[in-house]
Amino acid sequence: MERADVAIVGGGPAGMAAAHAAAEAGADAVVVEKGVPRADREGLGPDSTDAAGMLDYWVDIMGIDPAELPEDVILQELSGARFVGPTERCTLRDTGLESSYPNFGFTFQRARMDDWMRERAEERGAEYRVGTGVRRVESDTGGHTLHLADGSEIGCDSLVLADGPQRTVTMGVLDPFLPDGKKASEVLGPRRANHIAYQEHRRMPPELFEDDVITFWWGLIPGKTAYPWIFPNDDGVARMGLTMPIGMDVAEIENRDEYDLLRPDDERIPTGGTYIRRLLEREFGDEYDIDEEFPLVEDRGKRGGVESYPISSTRPIDSPTEAGIAVAGGAMGTTSAFHEGGYHVAVRSGAIAGDLAARGRLAEYNDTWKAAIGDEVLRNVAMADVVAEYEPDDWDRTFRTIGTMLEKRGGGPIDWGALSSGFGAAKFYTAYRKAKFRYRKGRYVQLSESDYSY
């Protein structure tokens, strides 16, 4: 049986950041990645499906200088984000949070970014093993044994679980450390807790392609934190996608006529492709032939210009560090369905896990990741709670309020504390403050370290 100091399950951003940090700290690190084929990558690799946008302050959370990235990773520099409701809209030109990055943010090519993360880890000496999955993990006082699908085994002292929001391996590994027959799937089960994201790569008419603004639509489709988006990529191509809950019953939506992308004759929730087609017709159909002038770019994305992927909308968990295990990235629950962003926190949490595992200090992991990314997690969890029951009129009211504030400030950054002025704004701001207070001091975790038994 092979042995490694640190074994990492999953070769996405959290896994490769862990491998890089562990190898840099002098540990023997091996990454096991099942691997999936993609049209935009030669060979197998992680399931690199993501809207792939990075805001300015996310760069600092991620902890990687964009100047280090290859030229073909960053696709567009951004100057703002547009938020569109059923009738109201506003555009932010400043995130309002301090950062070292000079622009609003950027869009990037996710598969190229992931491949660079792998190359970076391998250059430090980490081993990347792709093409076989982890069937099961045995843990005892002597460490961990990974049983791979190809029949091989890897023994390790420390284990980093970074298998993404589906947590195929993570849930089985955590179960033995939960008391009274409790199952990790009861907390983290993706069919109960996750959203699905769907996106298409489409070329846009040149006069409509805005290469410096990302756009989000809220209140057009039903569901908690359900929304479409357009992210500008390169060469006039944009990623057009949406996030929506799994398992929603259209018959249970009492106000379905208020959602612009639903139709009276819909017998079930539309597919992602149907939603995107309706969005394009809503926004551009009066003047453009959608089939002719917004064609799919079939050599991009996972296959045929289309891709879908699960998103964790759960709250994060602590890891059973006394057992030599750290859970990082989407597997830990750090991806936010509210803004469909998690790359930055995946990289940072993975790097922390890999570094501490290599130095024999994994017991510090839960406190360390909270200190590094806790504010970001707290903001996302609190905001998701605030907007969970929002309906179309609520989104219009919110964007109208923000738009008014932007006008008063001449387009400068919003002082979010000023949201306490005005009845509608005060209601929003008060709810957000209460949610943040409720989850203060790390109370946003679903499983705390004290919940595990060893």
Q: Kindly report which listed range (107-111, 165-169, 214-218) carries the lowest average pLDDT score.
A: 165-169
For 231, the 3-state DSSP assignment is: strand
Run of H or E including 411: none
Average pLDDT over residues 197-206: 96
Read off the pLDDT of residues 88-106 as tens digits, 9 standing for 90 and up.
Answer: 999 999 988 899 999 999 9
Residue 229: φ, ψ to 5°? -150, 165
Q: Could you give the strand order of the β-sheet that contains 105-108, starting from the edge strand earlier in sequence?
A: 53-55, 105-108, 74-78
Q: What's the confidence (pLDDT) of residue 245?
A: 83
155 forms beta bridges with: 3, 145
Read off the pLDDT of residues 330-370 as tens digits, 9 standing for 90 and up.
Answer: 999 887 656 656 899 999 999 999 999 999 999 999 999 99
**Whether the predicted pLDDT of 419 surpasses 70:** no
Query: Other C-beta atoms within 10 Å of 203: how many?
Result: 18
Average pLDDT, the chain: 90
Read off the pLDDT of residues 235-293 as tens digits, 9 standing for 90 and up.
Answer: 999 999 998 888 889 999 989 999 999 999 999 999 999 999 999 999 999 999 999 99
Q: Where does the pLDDT of residue 414 fall: very low under 50, low under 70, confident under 90, or very high at 90 and above?
A: low
- Say what the pTM is: 0.93
Q: Where does the pLDDT of residue 415 fall: very low under 50, low under 70, confident under 90, or very high at 90 and above?
A: low
Query: Other C-beta atoms within 10 Å of 149: how many?
Result: 12
Q: What's the confidence (pLDDT) of residue 190?
A: 52
Q: What CATH superfamily is the domain 2-76+101-190+313-373?
A: FAD/NAD(P)-binding domain (3.50.50.60)
Strand ranges for 46-87 from DSSP E: 53-55, 74-78, 80-84
